[in-house]
Chains A and B, each alone.
Chain A
């Protein structure tokens, strides 16, 4: 493939995170020739989502990454006299302090039959399982399919000590607790195997307690049901990203679910925050008078600008002080401050708080009873949507099928770039995507102080006018003066929701205020299995805060408040109040969002920096950044205008035909999506 790459582009985008992908899509639509490369084997950079085995591989890759010898002097020879090079880094230094804990029992206690089969003859299990078969069917080829490779590697292992070595990579700690547990596991599983030989299975299962507990092997086996986001964000239903998705018609590639509840953690209890009219009406926890107070205050916030007399006198004080002056009980003040305005006691003043509250309410009701949407299959879908957008739409039918069956766009595009890319497509749509394609350096003309080319991993020199580089690609030399903030992240797999209700398919967001001054509020997003991010019977919980220490130090206190580690010896009758942890991951991610361009050393004017994810809840930052940078590259061009009608594109008759029929298939598929998932097609109608 590499030798097929054209030697000249208008824009080269390095990194496939959300802002980079939006810019690449926008530039393609404006007719620019775009080369979009990523040295990683997956799309999205730190915006990516992984299956369970994928995240294990990510951890592993991350560790290997550290051993890469950065210096590859070959390219130096290509730099001419009048040129100098800005070397790019091949190490990813954005992730730190990774810690993994496994609480789920690793024995095969519950599912004697299946687990036994797995141990004896796992190959047959995989081929018998139809979903597994489909999964492997659309994977391109062995050497590229890092994900399957690792997945198979993991399932091959007896889920005990071997796995642990897989996890015991540098900087990844596995607790002693788990080790101890493992010893037991081995014993148990041995005896279990014996019984399974002698005792008929039905009797064996009849003896088991009714409630099946999820084991680690089940998580591994169902690993592809997980889509674990590295960043945990939601879409404000009137945020910039939604507007962009609709305006550009990229929304057709993604499907969303409404967040079903806003939660608060108060006095050791999780409770639901009523924020819509229907919520307030249905709330059991508010008194009648509180209902009125809350509705009255929120109605005021909706159009607070019209009533300056209500807040002018309080502009100088914090929002929390302002709330105390209003007719609100402490209960309501807490809800408004932490769960609706999502700020803290000290962070914002009256105006900021009112603005945040208004924004929250403004987003409410557009697609449902909360202001937020979550993309099915995870946040990692979004960069891919934009990537897919600038791709040709009349690719061969086989790839189309892949596209529909799999949400994992990355594989699809992987395939495309590897096998199907043709100069013709670029001529129309202008985008070429290469994963696992690293760039060694930027070549700068000494005289003009402009960047003129890149040299890729094969030593090919590719000329371009504009260069967009994601922050993590810069070497230490370039960012020696940059001060980065950090984001503390945790990903948990749990066995039940933090607030049980009739429905087990709730998507919740909870803000836990920082306890001591100087610590930050922790944002908890709990995803149910219908978001297609975790296996049935489990919940995927994301915790995020601005770091003050390591991720685990920052987040563990909150985890301990909300969850209980999976108890080893638990009598089944005992009702455990908190959800049990099955698995936990902590890591810190670099936050390059607030870095000013001037802090980087010696950047040529046509090299633009894209930041990694920020710690905020929405995606506005990424969209704003993308738009600003796009305007620098293509001044006076419309940012992501609606695409031309496919029928207006003149192609040969056959492909047009297939395109039309595909389109109808997509529509049909959309209309059959499960109830409650929001389609962005017709927002105004939905808001009626």
Chain B
């Protein structure tokens, strides 16, 4: 019928019989839309109004059959959007009724947000609506989520400040509300997630974190505040060398063309010659509205410019910049709750996050203890917790390194299971990862463009994807790991300066022909210990 173009009322009648019984039939809704669109052109306004009225009534009856039917709600959106004078008040009433029956029907919540936006309902009224539903039953993700959308609208921040944050008085009120929820029922997740949103901070502003230029490798490396994909169709990067634009090809350190923190480009010899006392390199990130400049002095091998990273800027993504008094009092009440509910995982996790936000180094020991308890009460998520713990420990180490202003990083004996924030290590020359529980040296490791010595003994490393294109790597120690096949060493071939490789204590040492394979693969490496 559809192909024959027979789109008239009879189609409406036929489809309504089927949809009335089972509203989840997207094709039929599409048919109806086509019919209605055609009828719009043919009918008089009066006839059309009657048609719309029937359609709205029909939709309601379908929603009674299945209040969670995607197709039905979508059709209603579509229909309302086409009406010259939609009765939004009636639609709000409809939502309220459906939410009274099931306050967690997220389809209806979606529709309500659509209606509220169309009808320009003041956020304050919608906030009051969420209040009433939360009062009835606070286990309601949708209500909490809606609050997180409405509150920033109600309390817009000055343009300069971070967006999506709340003024302190509002924040305190919300914290009290959500505390009521998790003290009443600490096992209810929705409240904890809202709590995390409240204390969380907005996305950091786009920035270029680090610029590094190396004469030897004739290469410029940029590190971004967030993963980006640089290319003609995506992000545009402009490079100015000595104030004149230079066209270059951007690539990632590991050679894969996907979003990453670190991008680099080769420089022509003319930009690096020693005729001038110095060269200036300026990178402009147009979309991010950011730029950075670094200088390569005559006679120097490399030059860089790097934000002196504070912990706040770098890592406090989970929890935030709010006044530490607020965080402190949150921490106290969570500890109080933890005493009553020693086994509540949400509470334990929140304590850890709060401690990190307050002072990651001061609370380091305590945090580790809480991690231990948390793993014991929630063994199902042990691996996730290990990774999270690794991340925090790494962040702490980075901070300490930052304060010491060195390019050597010791991460041994930390029980790490995962490596992250590697883009922060652009300038590191010596890295010790020994005695951890790492299973891989991930591709992001390729960002360590200055790395000369890498020790990763006594781990459980099976793959070396990240040890690739490291221009300065000379020494690599991988004793007592789980390297099975000589094949996994393939990436090492791309490190031109590698001279020392220690593979003792790996399964591949027992394999026949390993030495021969390695000699062929890595002809330049002087010393290979197998």
Contact = CB atoms under 8 A, between A and B. Distances in A.
Contacts, number: 43
Interface string B178-192: 011101111000000
Contact of B183 (A282, A291, A327): A291
A291 B336 contact: no
B185 A277 contact: yes
B137 A278 contact: yes
Contacts of B337: 288-289, 292
A295 B336 contact: no
A283 B183 CA distance: 12
A289 B336 contact: yes
Contacts of B137: 277-278
Nearest to A296: B340
A34 B135 CA distance: 51
A283 B138 CA distance: 13
Interface size class of A (residues with CB under 8 A): 10 to 19
B136 A288 contact: no
Given A282-B135, A288-B179, A327 B340 contact: yes
A283 B135 CA distance: 10
A295 B184 CA distance: 6
A293 interface: yes
A288 B336 CA distance: 9
B186 A292 contact: yes
A468 B135 CA distance: 50
B60 interface: no
Interface string A251-283: 000000000000000000000000001101111
B70 to A, nearest CB: 23
A296 B340 CA distance: 9
Dominant SS at the B interface? Answer: helix
A280 B136 CA distance: 11
Interface residues of B, number: 16
Contacts of A292: 183-184, 186, 337, 340-341
A281 B180 contact: yes
B100 to A, nearest CB: 9
B178 to A, nearest CB: 10
A281 B340 contact: no
A281 B333 contact: no
Contacts of A280: 184
Interface string A285-320: 000110111011000000000000000000000000
Contact of A281 (B138, B186, B336): B138
Interface in A380-400: none
A289 B135 contact: no
B136 A278 contact: yes
Contacts of B181: 281
A296 B137 CA distance: 18
Contacts of B138: 278, 281
A292 to B, nearest CB: 5
A282 B184 CA distance: 9
Interface in B303-360: 333, 336-337, 340-341
A43 to B, nearest CB: 37
A439 to B, nearest CB: 52
Contacts of B333: 288
A304 B260 CA distance: 56
A157 to B, nearest CB: 49
Nearest to B102: A688
B180 A291 contact: yes
B69 to A, nearest CB: 20
A283 B176 CA distance: 12
A303 to B, nearest CB: 15
Q: Which of B180, B333, B336 counts the most chain A CB atoms within 10 A?
A: B180
Contact of A277 (B179, B184, B336): B184
Contacts of A289: 183, 336-337, 340
Contacts of B336: 288-289
A283 B186 CA distance: 16
Nearest to A287: B183
B131 to A, nearest CB: 10
Interface in B488-511: none
A293 B340 CA distance: 8
A295 B188 CA distance: 13
Nearest to A295: B184
A292 B333 CA distance: 12
A445 B147 CA distance: 79
A289 B186 CA distance: 12
Contacts of B341: 292, 296
Interface string B154-188: 00000000000000000000000001110111100
Interface in B221-265: none
A206 to B, nearest CB: 36
Contacts of A293: 340
A281 B140 CA distance: 13
Contacts of A278: 135-138
A288 B137 CA distance: 18
B180 A288 contact: yes
Contacts of B340: 289, 292-293, 296, 327
A288 B185 contact: no
Contacts of A281: 135, 138, 180-181, 184-185
Contacts of A283: 180
Pairs of residues from A and B, 10 with the lowest C-beta to C-beta distance, nearest first: A288-B183, A291-B183, A281-B184, A280-B184, A292-B183, A292-B340, A291-B184, A281-B180, A281-B138, A295-B184
Given A291-B184, A295-B184, A295-B185, 8 more contacts: A278-B137, A278-B138, A281-B185, A282-B180, A283-B180, A288-B337, A291-B180, A292-B184
Interface of A: 277-278, 280-283, 288-289, 291-293, 295-296, 327
